[in-house]
């Protein structure tokens, strides 16, 4: 039986895995994306990771029936053209077409958050559901939509950009140029910035001790340790972010009437309790009637495997 390959092109690394027809992972290979060396170099890394994952699984590339991959940015739904990836420098790059030609097999390229939700839908927290949304607060706040079991991508692949729904007009400035977007308040980046601004005033001792003023070191794990150590400033900052996540969720619930919202990403993994509890409470208070009562808010189950398995599932659907 032929195998399927799934890969996850992230901002700093590329992860690939070979899967059997029951979507069990047979091999896993990870490499640095080398984004600073340019798009051609990143493409070479993708090809190398695909070949290495096949070697590791003891198969030849010709034993694959299809390749499914994802990119961290806007992807054109039909052609898999990658419009734009902020960290990798891809601009209108025909990733799907190029891989399909170079490996001579069907390839599907998807936005990473979409692929992750599709993985959770088929193999994880949303198994058996038909109408689900994803929200993942990280560098930004990613979002994805499944209606009637299908991914909703919009006319140009931009559907589900929930990080930029405005929850606080005149709120903090967002990277997109607007004010009060959900990700300007509830992303890990927004949390890190606020926590560091407290560090400048000599507060948040654990953060001062470990991060020493470096924003990049204020990661989810450190935020969680400070929160769980009882630091009231960090607790107030996190709880505020979780409340606004709930405000965003109430708008989504009224727009899409989902069975569940799946919260994913490193920040949720590190601090599941406050994010799930507080955002759910606020969402139920603000959403309209039955919509808010019935919807479940669940933590993602598959971690990094969600995008790999979702990408592989989308690839398998090409050849079925």
Using CB under 5 A, which residues numbered 260 to 319 contact Zn ion? none
The nearer residue to Zn ion, 122 or 164, going by C-beta atoms, is 164
The window from 11-19, 73-81, 181-189, 266-274 that contacts Zn ion (CB under 5 A) reads 181-189
| # chain residues binding Zn ion, by CB under 5 A | 5
The nearer residue to Zn ion, 174 or 190, going by C-beta atoms, is 174
The window from 9-17, 22-30, 143-151, 169-177 that contacts Zn ion (CB under 5 A) reads 169-177
Query: Which contacts qualify for 53-57: CB closer than 8 Å, 24 or more apart?
Result: 53/5, 53/7, 53/16, 53/17, 53/18, 53/27, 53/28, 53/29, 54/5, 54/18, 54/27, 56/18, 56/27, 56/28, 56/29, 57/3, 57/18, 57/26, 57/27
The nearer residue to Zn ion, 80 or 160, going by C-beta atoms, is 160
Q: In the complex, what is the shortest distance from the CB of residue 164 to Zn ion, in angstroms, rounded to a whole number?
A: 4
Q: Does 181 bind Zn ion (CB under 5 A)?
A: yes
The window from 118-126, 171-179, 192-200, 241-249 that contacts Zn ion (CB under 5 A) reads 171-179
71: enclosing H helix or E strand: strand 64-71
Q: Does 176 bind Zn ion (CB under 5 A)?
A: yes
* Contact pick of 108, 164, 188, 284 for Zn ion (by CB under 5 A): 164
The nearer residue to Zn ion, 177 or 230, going by C-beta atoms, is 177
The nearer residue to Zn ion, 176 or 236, going by C-beta atoms, is 176
Asked if residue 133 lies in contact with residue 145, where contact means CB atoms within 8 angstroms, the answer is: yes
The Cα-based distances of 185 to 172, 237, 317 in angstroms read 7, 10, 37
Using CB under 5 A, which residues numbered 136 to 155 contact Zn ion? none
The window from 48-56, 83-91, 99-107, 173-181 that contacts Zn ion (CB under 5 A) reads 173-181
Q: In the complex, what is the shortest distance from the CB of residue 190 to Zn ion, in angstroms, rounded to a whole number?
A: 11
The Cα-based distances of 276 to 62, 180, 183, 238, 261 in angstroms read 44, 21, 17, 12, 10
Which one, of 153, 149, 148, 98, lies nearest residue 121 by Cα?
A: 149
Interface residues toward Zn ion, by CB under 5 A: 164, 174, 176, 178, 181
């Amino acid at each position: 039986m032929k195998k399927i390959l799934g890969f996850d092109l992230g901002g700093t690394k590329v992860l690939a895995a070979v899967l059997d027809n029951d979507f069990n992972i047979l091999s896993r290979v990870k490499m640095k994306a080398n984004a600073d060396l340019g798009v051609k170099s990143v493409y070479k890394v993708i090809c190398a990771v695909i070949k290495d994952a096949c070697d590791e699984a003891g198969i030849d590339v010709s034993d694959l029936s299809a390749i499914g991959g994802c990119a961290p940015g806007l992807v054109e739904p039909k052609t898999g053209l990658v419009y734009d990836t902020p960290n990798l420098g891809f601009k209108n790059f025909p990733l799907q077409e190029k891989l399909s030609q170079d490996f001579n097999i069907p390839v599907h390229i998807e936005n990473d958050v979409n692929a992750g939700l599709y993985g959770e839908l088929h193999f994880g927290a949303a198994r058996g559901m038909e109408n689900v949304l994803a929200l993942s607060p990280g560098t930004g706040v990613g979002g994805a939509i499944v209606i009637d079991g299908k991914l909703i991508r919009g006319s140009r692949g931009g559907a589900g950009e929930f990080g930029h729904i405005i929850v606080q007009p005149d709120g903090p400035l967002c990277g997109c140029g607007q004010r009060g977007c959900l990700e300007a308040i509830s992303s890990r980046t927004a949390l890190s910035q606020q926590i560091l601004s407290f560090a400048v005033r000599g507060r948040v001792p654990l953060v001062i001790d470990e991060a020493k003023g470096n924003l990049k070191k204020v990661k989810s794990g450190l935020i969680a340790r400070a929160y769980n150590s009882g630091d009231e400033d960090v607790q107030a900052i996190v709880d505020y972010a979780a409340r606004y996540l709930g405000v965003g969720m109430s708008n989504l619930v009224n727009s899409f009437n989902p069975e569940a919202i799946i919260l994913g990403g490193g920040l949720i993994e590190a601090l599941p309790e406050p994010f799930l509890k507080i955002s759910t409470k606020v969402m139920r208070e603000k959403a309209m009637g039955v919509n808010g009562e019935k919807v479940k808010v669940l933590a993602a189950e598959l971690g990094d495997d969600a995008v790999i398995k979702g990408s592989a599932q989308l690839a398998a659907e090409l050849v079925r």
